[in-house]
Amino acid sequence: MLQQRSFGKIDFRPSALGFGAMRLPQLAEGAAATDDAFGRIDVETADAMLRRAVAAGVNYVDTAYPYHDGASERWLGHALRTVAGDLCGPGDAGLAELRGRLKVATKLPMWKLEAREDCERYFSEQLERLQLDSVDFYLLHGLRAGSVAKLREYGVLEWAEKALADGRIGHLGFSFHDQYAVFEEVVDATDLWEFCQIQYNFMDEEFQAGTRGLEYAARKGLGVIVMEPLRGGRLARRPPEAVAALWSAANARREAAGEAPRTPVEWALQWVWRHEDVSFLLSGMSSMEQLEENLACAGRAAAGAQTEDDLATYSQVRDAYLACSPIDCTNCRYCLPCPSGVAIPEVLGVYNDAIIYGGGPAAARFAYGWMPEPQRAESCTQCHDCEELCPQQLAIPDWLEKIRAFVAIDK
């Protein structure tokens, strides 16, 4: 069985690895879907992966309203019954046994709220998709600057408190996508939070909530789930030559010490697990092969298990990746606020990531699509205020125009 870790003050011991349902396996090009409700999800493979994960000891599965254009929640509702029948027995009794072994989490689409009744409307739709009467863990999805005001405007926390009281929600938390100062504001907004979900990996120690956010949440007694431990799969891709050489040298040291070498995936995952304040990490696995590799890595997960040489290697690898950046942006944020509302460092980061990790326009387009439209490059009016403020003297308006063309769908 997989290692189980603490989860803040919650009486639940999560497996070191959770099952993320945002990047489920997809049907091959030209293959016909068996049920339109599941979109392009390869249901047979996804079912098999969840079955294997549960059998191996994974006890937390995470989805959200928009994943796979809404098909992820519907797939999970189906898969819970299929996996329950295979592992626990048929009918409601089998499902109840599985629910005791596997906790279900989904998220309220905060950006869609336009009225107080929307919380109940979306949650009811989610329960219908999942074919459940309740969820174990419920997150307010993607909180950022302005979210606390929106929570108050639409009575979200009052609604959530009632749903907690009537048992339709087991535990309330949030996922986060903004700067550290905003993270503190969100954490301190209510005593209802029991856990949070942040992006964290060895490339992102100071990105968004970062290490400071991890430690702040832990001090407040919150469980902390890590998403994007592989930076959306970027750290699993074939690395640049300079990075590959560093991993190779580190593995040679391990072998000389009688230890097994690691893949880039395991190096990345073990960096997250070494932090005692991390409750567990979520991995969005798209194939059985990825699942098996993640399970094997999770079987070796250990808090604090890194040597000084290991930590030095992470720092060198980070520097080697960043040396591949085409835009020399340091994220100092002196260019902000943009008079037109463009989130300049984030837009530049989308392009840098696509080049550094070899994802190309498709990867950039995916990340760009998650940005609010007013913050994208299209809002730039070429006023050049940012250019005058940039310590690196970057031609920011020119880069924004290049990025706008780079992510265009009609390329």
Residue 164 confidence (pLDDT): 98
The answer to the question of residue 244 being in a domain is: no
Residue type at 117? E
Distances (CA, A) of 113 to 20, 46, 122: 24, 30, 9
User: pLDDT tens track of the chain, all 411 residues?
Assistant: 789 999 999 999 999 999 999 999 999 887 878 778 899 999 999 999 999 999 999 999 999 999 999 999 999 999 999 999 999 999 999 999 999 999 999 999 999 999 999 999 999 999 999 999 999 999 999 999 899 999 999 999 999 999 999 999 999 999 998 889 999 999 999 999 999 999 999 999 988 899 999 999 999 999 999 999 998 888 998 899 999 999 999 999 999 999 999 999 999 999 999 999 999 999 999 999 999 999 999 999 988 778 899 999 999 999 999 998 899 887 788 899 999 999 999 999 899 988 888 888 988 898 898 888 999 999 999 999 999 888 888 999 999 999 999 998 654
Structure tokens at 245: 């050489």
The answer to the question of residue 266 being in a domain is: no
How far is it, in rounded angstroms, from Cα 82 to Cα 37? Answer: 16
The answer to the question of residue 256 being in a domain is: no
Q: Are both 54 and 191 inside the same structural domain?
A: yes
Among 182, 186, 155, residue whose Cα is nearest residue 173: 186
The answer to the question of residue 237 being in a domain is: no
Buried b (16+ CB within 10 A) or exposed e, 312-326: ebbebbbebbeeebe
How far is it, in rounded angstroms, from Cα 353 to Cα 349? Answer: 6
Structure tokens at 362: 């498709």
Q: Are both 62 and 201 inside the same structural domain?
A: yes
Cis ω for the linkage preceding 337 (within 30 of 0): yes
The answer to the question of residue 273 being in a domain is: no
Q: Are both 223 and 102 inside the same structural domain?
A: yes
Say which CATH number the domain at 122 has.
3.20.20.100
Helices (H), 141-263: 147-153, 156-165, 180-187, 210-219, 241-256
Residue where a domain stops, chosen among 285, 313, 330: 285
Domain count, the chain: 2
How far is it, in rounded angstroms, from Cα 55 to Cα 396? Answer: 51
Q: What are phi and psi of 226, to 5 degrees?
A: -100, 125
Among 183, 258, 165, residue whose Cα is nearest residue 197: 183
Residues 6 or more apart in contact with residue 264 via CB below 8 angstroms: 235, 236, 239, 243, 247
The answer to the question of residue 47 being in a domain is: yes
Provide the terminal-to-terminal Cα distance of the chain, rounded to the nearest Å.
47
Residue 30 confidence (pLDDT): 76
The answer to the question of residue 311 being in a domain is: no
Q: Are both 226 and 356 inside the same structural domain?
A: no
Residue 411 confidence (pLDDT): 42
Among 411, 404, 407, 403, residue whose Cα is nearest residue 361: 407
Residue where a domain stops, chosen among 285, 302, 326: 285
How far is it, in rounded angstroms, from Cα 85 to Cα 88? Answer: 6
Residue 15 confidence (pLDDT): 98
Upper half-sphere CA count for residue 241 (Cβ side, 13 Å)? 0
Residues 6 or more apart in contact with residue 377 via CB below 8 angstroms: 342, 347, 400, 401, 403, 404, 407
- Structural domain for 188, as ranges: 17-231+279-285
The answer to the question of residue 303 being in a domain is: no
Residue 362 confidence (pLDDT): 87
Residue where a domain stops, chosen among 285, 318, 353: 285
Upper half-sphere CA count for residue 152 (Cβ side, 13 Å)? 6
Residue 409 confidence (pLDDT): 67
DSSP 36: G
Residue type at 312? A
